[in-house]
């Protein structure tokens, strides 16, 4: 067997070795600093590569986030569809289109003057319609009233001829009140051969009428004061006087005796109740002689 021989160094030798090692370490410090600087420079050179790597990593993270957002959006869309709330892009387009439509509506809004003109036109149309309706109503009402009154109460007549001058002249308009009872001196209207004649009542049914050669008239022996007569005359006549008036008839004469065809002639004769229209009570026209008769 071999024996290991251990030789113990001296203390002085150990001390010298330690000092030599420390001196070597101190001498090597500059080299270590340069080496450190070179190492740091070497580490700084590849920095751009690390930044690109970081950017790529960030881009990858963004892509992952986008994928997550898309998945999340899809999930929300599915949930909205199931809940019955539909939100689609066309709705967004419609929402975008709403301001445009509002702008067009604002552009189409009429001005204040246009509104005033339109309001005035509408009011004029309404007023015209009201006036027209009221006018038609008045015309219809007056016509109906005239027919009713003329049928049961009065008759409007226009005078033609000169047999009643100076009391009535041609062209005058008079009103006759429908009645069947008359007194001597009344003006009456009656039908004769599809014409309407106006004469003055002289004798009632049963009266005796006499006319002398000078045209003076008496009834039942009493002479009449006829201030309304012009040109007294016996003619034209074919009757014998005194003359008794038949029942239900009236003896009539015109005020213009020489020009009147009346009960003195058998052509006209006495007026029956069936021929009677009514008593002349009012003169409507001309306005200068407007009033009662």
- What's the rounded mean pLDDT across residues 269-287? 91
**pLDDT on residue 172:** 93
Instruction: Give the whole-number percent of the chain exceeding pLDDT 90.
Output: 25
**Does residue 226 contact residue 233 with C-beta atoms inside 8 Å?**
no
Confidence of residue 48 (pLDDT cuts 50, 70, 90): very low
Indicate the Cα dihedral angle 97, 102, 103, 104, nearest 10°: 90
- What's the rounded mean pLDDT across residues 66-79? 69
- What's the rounded mean pLDDT across residues 228-234? 88
Write out pLDDT tens, residues 169-192.
899 999 998 887 888 889 999 999
**Does residue 170 contact residue 159 with C-beta atoms inside 8 Å?**
yes
Q: In 84-111, where does DSSP find H-type helix?
A: 89-108
Q: Which two tokens stand for residue 247?
A: 């029942």
Tell me the average pLDDT of the chain.
Answer: 76
Q: At the topology level of CATH, where does 155-292 sit?
A: Umud Fragment, subunit A (2.10.109)
Q: Which of 96, 117, 150, 199 is catalytic?
A: 199
**pLDDT on residue 200:** 94
Q: What angle do CA 26, 42, 45 make, to 5 degrees?
A: 150
For strands 276-285 and 154-158, give the pairing: unpaired
159 or 107, higher pLDDT: 159
- What's the rounded mean pLDDT across residues 58-72? 62
Annotated catalytic residue 8: no
- What's the rounded mean pLDDT across residues 119-128? 87
243 or 9, higher pLDDT: 243
Quick check: 152 pLDDT over 90? Answer: no
Cα distances (angstroms) measured from residue 288 to each of 172, 227, 268: 11, 22, 33
Backbone region of residue 225 per phi and psi (left: phi > 0; alpha: psi in -120 to 50; beta: other values): beta
Write out pLDDT tens, residues 195-210.
899 999 999 999 999 9
**pLDDT on residue 79:** 72
Identify which of 77-86, 99-108, 116-125, 220-229 has the greatest average pLDDT: 220-229
Whether the bond between 77 and the residue before it is cis, its omega within 30 degrees of 0, is no
Annotated catalytic residue 163: yes
Q: Can you give the residue ranges of every domain in the chain?
A: 112-152, 155-292
**pLDDT on residue 41:** 46
Identify which of 15-24, 100-109, 136-145 has the greatest average pLDDT: 136-145
Cβ burial, residue 107 (10 Å; 0-12/13-18/19+)? exposed
Q: Which of 38, 111, 158, 163 is catalytic?
A: 163
Q: What gap in Å lies between CA 195 and CA 35, rounded to an integer?
A: 155
């Amino acid at each position: 067997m071999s024996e290991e021989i251990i030789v113990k160094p001296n203390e002085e030798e150990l001390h010298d070795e330690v000092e030599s090692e420390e001196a070597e370490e101190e001498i090597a410090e500059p080299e270590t600093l340069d080496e450190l600087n070179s190492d740091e420079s070497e580490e700084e050179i590849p920095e751009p590569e690390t930044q690109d790597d970081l950017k790529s990593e960030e881009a990858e993270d963004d892509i992952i986030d986008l994928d997550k957002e898309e998945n999340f959006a899809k999930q929300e869309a599915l949930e909205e569809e199931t809940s019955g709330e539909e939100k689609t892009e066309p709705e967004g387009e419609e929402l975008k289109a709403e301001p445009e439509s509002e702008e067009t509506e604002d552009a189409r809004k009429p001005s204040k003057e246009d509104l005033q003109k339109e309001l005035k036109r509408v009011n004029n149309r309404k007023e015209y319609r009201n006036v027209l309706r009221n006018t038609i109503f008045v015309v219809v009402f007056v016509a109906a009233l005239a027919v009713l009154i003329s049928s049961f109460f009065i008759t409007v007549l226009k005078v033609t001829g000169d047999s009643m001058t100076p009391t009535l002249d041609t062209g005058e308009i008079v009103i006759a009140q429908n009645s069947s009872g008359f007194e001597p001196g009344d003006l009456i209207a009656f039908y004769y051969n599809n014409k309407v004649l106006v004469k003055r009542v002289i004798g009632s049914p049963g009266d005796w009428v006499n006319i002398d050669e000078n045209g003076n008239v008496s009834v039942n022996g009493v002479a009449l004061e006829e201030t309304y007569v012009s040109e007294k005359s016996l003619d034209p006549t074919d009757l014998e006087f005194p003359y008794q008036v038949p029942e239900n008839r009236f003896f009539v004469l015109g005020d213009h005796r020489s020009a009147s065809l009346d009960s003195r002639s058998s052509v006209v004769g006495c007026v029956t109740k069936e021929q009677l229209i009514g008593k002349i009570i009012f003169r409507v026209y001309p306005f200068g002689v407007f009033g009662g008769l």
